[in-house]
Chain A
Amino acid sequence: MVSEAEPGKGAGTPVFQTRGLTKTYDQGEVQVHALRGVDLDLYGGELVVMLGASGSGKSTLLNILGGLDVPSSGEVRYRDIDLSSAGDRELTRYRREHVGFVFQFYNLIPSLTARENVAAVTEIASNPMSPEQALELVGLKSRIDHFPAQLSGGEQQRVAIARAIAKRPDVLLCDEPTGALDSATGVLVLEALEKANRETGTTTVIITHNASIAGMGDRVITLSDGNISGERRNDQRQDPRTLSW
Chain B
Amino acid sequence: MATKALNTVLNVKLYRELWQMRGQALAIALVIAGGVAVCVMSLVNYSSLLATRAQYYDQHQFADVFAPVKRAPVHSLQEIASLPGIARYEGRVEGAAKLQMPGFADPVSARLVSIPHEGQPDINRLFIRQGRLPGVGRSHEVAVIGSFAEAHGLSLGDRFQAIINGRRQTLVLTGIVESPEFIYVIPPGGMLPDYLRYGVLWMNREALESAMDMRGAFNSLVVTLRPSYSVATVVDALDRILARYGATGAYAREDQFSHRFLSDELNQLKTMATVFPLIFMSVAMFLLNVVIGRLISTQRDIVAVLKAFGYSNRQIAWHYSKLVIVIAAIGLMIGLALGLWLGRALGELYMDFYRFPGLLFRIDPLWLALLAALTITVAWLGAWRAIRQASSLPPAEAMRPEGPARYQVTLAEKRLSGIRFSQPSRMIVRQLTRRPTRSLLSMGGIAMATAIVMVGNFQFDSVSLMVHTQFARVQQQDLAVSFIEPVNRAALYGLQRQPGIRYAEGRRTVSARLISGHREWRTAVTGIPADARLQFVVDRELQSVSLPAQGLLLTDYLAGQLGVGAGDRVRLELLEGDRRTVTVQVAGITSEFLGVGAYMNLDALNRVLGDGPLINQALVNLDPEQSTDVYNSLRDTPGVSGISIRQAMLDSFYDTLARTFLTFTFFNSLMGGIIAFGVVYNTIRISLAEKGRELASLRVLGYTHNEVAHILLGEVALLLLLGVPFGWLIGQGLALLIVTAMQTELYRVPLTITSQTLGMSALVVVVSAIASGVIAWWRLKALDLVAVLKTRE
A residues sitting closer than 8 Å to B (CB atoms) are: 59, 63, 66, 68-69, 88-89, 92-93, 95-97, 99, 101, 103-105, 107-113, 116-117, 119-121, 123-125, 147-149, 163, 175, 180
Contact A111 B789 (CB under 8 A): no
Known contacts A109-B694, A112-B423, then 7 further A-B pairs from the complex at CB < 8 Å, ordered by chain A residue: A101-B700, A103-B789, A111-B407, A112-B426, A112-B430, A120-B423, A120-B701
Q: A68-B786, A121-B702, A124-B707 are in contact. Are A105 and B792 (CB under 8 A)?
A: yes
- In the assembled complex, B722 has its CB within 8 A of some CB on chain A: no
Contacts of A68 in B (CB 8 A): 700, 785-786, 789
Contacts of A66 in B (CB 8 A): 700
Q: Which of A93, A101, A111 contacts B701 (CB 8 A)?
A: A101
Task: List CB contacts (< 8 Å) of B690-747 with chain A.
Answer: 693-694, 697-705, 707
Measured in the bound complex, the distance between the Cα atoms of B704 and A96 in whole Å is: 9
Against A, the Cβ 8 Å flags (1 = close, 0 = not) of B397-424 are 0000001111111000000000000111
Task: List CB contacts (< 8 Å) of B531-558 with chain A.
Answer: none
The 17 listed contacts between A and B (C-beta, < 8 Å) are A92-B702, A95-B700, A97-B702, A107-B693, A107-B694, A108-B697, A109-B697, A111-B431, A112-B427, A113-B409, A120-B698, A120-B701, A123-B422, A147-B406, A147-B408, A148-B404, A149-B406
Contacts of B786 in A (CB 8 A): 59, 63, 68-69
Measured in the bound complex, the distance between the Cα atoms of B403 and A121 in whole Å is: 25
> Which 9 A-B residue pairings sit nearest by Cβ, starting from the closest?
A96-B702, A120-B423, A107-B697, A111-B430, A95-B702, A149-B404, A111-B407, A110-B405, A105-B792
Contact B423 A123 (CB under 8 A): yes
Contacts of B75 in A (CB 8 A): none
- In the assembled complex, B4 has its CB within 8 A of some CB on chain A: no
Q: How far is the CB of A3 from chain B (nearest CB, A)?
A: 25
Contact B701 A121 (CB under 8 A): yes
Contacts of A92 in B (CB 8 A): 699, 702-705
Give how many A-B residue pairs fall within 8 Å (CB-CB).
96
Measured in the bound complex, the distance between the Cα atoms of B793 and A108 in whole Å is: 12
Q: Which of B423, B789, B793 contacts A116 (CB 8 A)?
A: B423
Contacts of B407 in A (CB 8 A): 110-112, 147, 149
Against A, the Cβ 8 Å flags (1 = close, 0 = not) of B422-440 are 1110110011001000000
Contacts of A63 in B (CB 8 A): 786
Contacts of B705 in A (CB 8 A): 88, 92
Contact A111 B792 (CB under 8 A): no
Q: How far is the CB of A64 from chain B (nearest CB, A)?
A: 10
Contacts of B434 in A (CB 8 A): 111
Measured in the bound complex, the distance between the Cα atoms of B787 and A63 in whole Å is: 11
Q: How far is the CB of B421 from chain A (nearest CB, A)?
A: 9
Contacts of A103 in B (CB 8 A): 697, 789
Measured in the bound complex, the distance between the Cα atoms of B426 and A175 in whole Å is: 28
Measured in the bound complex, the distance between the Cα atoms of B789 and A116 in whole Å is: 20
Q: How far is the CB of A202 from chain B (nearest CB, A)?
A: 15
Measured in the bound complex, the distance between the Cα atoms of B264 and A68 in whole Å is: 66
Contact A124 B702 (CB under 8 A): yes
Determine the main DSSP class of B at the interface with A. Answer: helix
Most central of B424, B698, B700, B703 by chain A CB within 10 Å: B700
Q: Which of A110, A119, A175 contacts B789 (CB 8 A)?
A: A175
From A179, which residue of chain B is reached at the shortest CB distance? B792
Contacts of B785 in A (CB 8 A): 68-69
Contact A99 B426 (CB under 8 A): no
Q: How far is the CB of B406 from chain A (nearest CB, A)?
A: 5
From B406, which residue of chain A is reached at the shortest CB distance? A149
From A151, which residue of chain B is reached at the shortest CB distance? B404
Q: How far is the CB of A82 from chain B (nearest CB, A)?
A: 19
Contacts of A69 in B (CB 8 A): 785-786
- In the assembled complex, B790 has its CB within 8 A of some CB on chain A: yes
Contacts of A104 in B (CB 8 A): 789-790, 792
From A164, which residue of chain B is reached at the shortest CB distance? B701
Measured in the bound complex, the distance between the Cα atoms of B8 and A31 in whole Å is: 32
Contacts of A107 in B (CB 8 A): 693-694, 697, 700, 789
Contacts of B406 in A (CB 8 A): 110, 147, 149
From B434, which residue of chain A is reached at the shortest CB distance? A111
Contact A110 B426 (CB under 8 A): no
Contacts of B694 in A (CB 8 A): 107, 109-111
Q: How far is the CB of A168 from chain B (nearest CB, A)?
A: 13
Measured in the bound complex, the distance between the Cα atoms of B105 and A58 in whole Å is: 92
Q: A59-B790, A68-B786, A69-B786 are in contact. Are A111 and B426 (CB under 8 A)?
A: yes
Q: How far is the CB of B404 from chain A (nearest CB, A)?
A: 4
Contacts of A121 in B (CB 8 A): 701-702
Q: How far is the CB of B1 from chain A (nearest CB, A)?
A: 32
Task: List CB contacts (< 8 Å) of B760-793 with chain A.
Answer: 785-786, 789-793
Contact A116 B426 (CB under 8 A): yes
Q: How far is the CB of B758 from chain A (nearest CB, A)?
A: 33
Contacts of B405 in A (CB 8 A): 110-111, 149
Contacts of A110 in B (CB 8 A): 404-407, 694
Measured in the bound complex, the distance between the Cα atoms of B431 and A95 in whole Å is: 26
Most central of A59, A92, A113 by chain B CB within 10 Å: A92
From B427, which residue of chain A is reached at the shortest CB distance? A111
Against A, the Cβ 8 Å flags (1 = close, 0 = not) of B677-697 are 000000000000000011001
Contacts of B699 in A (CB 8 A): 92
Contacts of A96 in B (CB 8 A): 701-704
Measured in the bound complex, the distance between the Cα atoms of B404 and A101 in whole Å is: 21
Contact B702 A180 (CB under 8 A): no
Contacts of B427 in A (CB 8 A): 109, 111-112
Measured in the bound complex, the distance between the Cα atoms of B79 and A142 in whole Å is: 106
Q: How far is the CB of B430 from chain A (nearest CB, A)?
A: 4
Measured in the bound complex, the distance between the Cα atoms of B407 and A101 in whole Å is: 24
Measured in the bound complex, the distance between the Cα atoms of B424 and A234 in whole Å is: 43
From B429, which residue of chain A is reached at the shortest CB distance? A111
Contacts of B702 in A (CB 8 A): 92-93, 95-97, 99, 121, 124-125
Contacts of B790 in A (CB 8 A): 59, 104
Measured in the bound complex, the distance between the Cα atoms of B146 and A55 in whole Å is: 84
Q: A116-B423, A123-B423 are in contact. Are A180 and B792 (CB under 8 A)?
A: yes
From A145, which residue of chain B is reached at the shortest CB distance? B409
From B407, which residue of chain A is reached at the shortest CB distance? A111
From A96, which residue of chain B is reached at the shortest CB distance? B702
Measured in the bound complex, the distance between the Cα atoms of B699 and A99 in whole Å is: 12
Q: How far is the CB of B539 from chain A (nearest CB, A)?
A: 57
Contacts of B789 in A (CB 8 A): 68, 103-105, 107, 175
Q: How far is the CB of B171 from chain A (nearest CB, A)?
A: 81
Contact A163 B701 (CB under 8 A): yes
Q: How far is the CB of A132 from chain B (nearest CB, A)?
A: 15
Against A, the Cβ 8 Å flags (1 = close, 0 = not) of B109-128 are 00000000000000000000
Most central of B403, B409, B790 by chain A CB within 10 Å: B790
From B694, which residue of chain A is reached at the shortest CB distance? A109
Contacts of B698 in A (CB 8 A): 109, 120
Q: How far is the CB of B531 from chain A (nearest CB, A)?
A: 75
Against A, the Cβ 8 Å flags (1 = close, 0 = not) of B547-579 are 000000000000000000000000000000000
Measured in the bound complex, the distance between the Cα atoms of B699 and A117 in whole Å is: 14
Measured in the bound complex, the distance between the Cα atoms of B426 and A110 in whole Å is: 11
Measured in the bound complex, the distance between the Cα atoms of B694 and A180 in whole Å is: 18
Measured in the bound complex, the distance between the Cα atoms of B706 and A88 in whole Å is: 12
From B424, which residue of chain A is reached at the shortest CB distance? A120
From A103, which residue of chain B is reached at the shortest CB distance? B789
Q: How far is the CB of A222 from chain B (nearest CB, A)?
A: 21
Contacts of A111 in B (CB 8 A): 405, 407, 426-427, 430-431, 434, 694
Measured in the bound complex, the distance between the Cα atoms of B430 and A96 in whole Å is: 25
Measured in the bound complex, the distance between the Cα atoms of B296 and A62 in whole Å is: 34
Contacts of B404 in A (CB 8 A): 110, 148-149
Q: How far is the CB of A231 from chain B (nearest CB, A)?
A: 25
Q: How far is the CB of A212 from chain B (nearest CB, A)?
A: 23
Measured in the bound complex, the distance between the Cα atoms of B424 and A119 in whole Å is: 10
Measured in the bound complex, the distance between the Cα atoms of B699 and A163 in whole Å is: 14
Measured in the bound complex, the distance between the Cα atoms of B699 and A88 in whole Å is: 11
Measured in the bound complex, the distance between the Cα atoms of B88 and A150 in whole Å is: 88
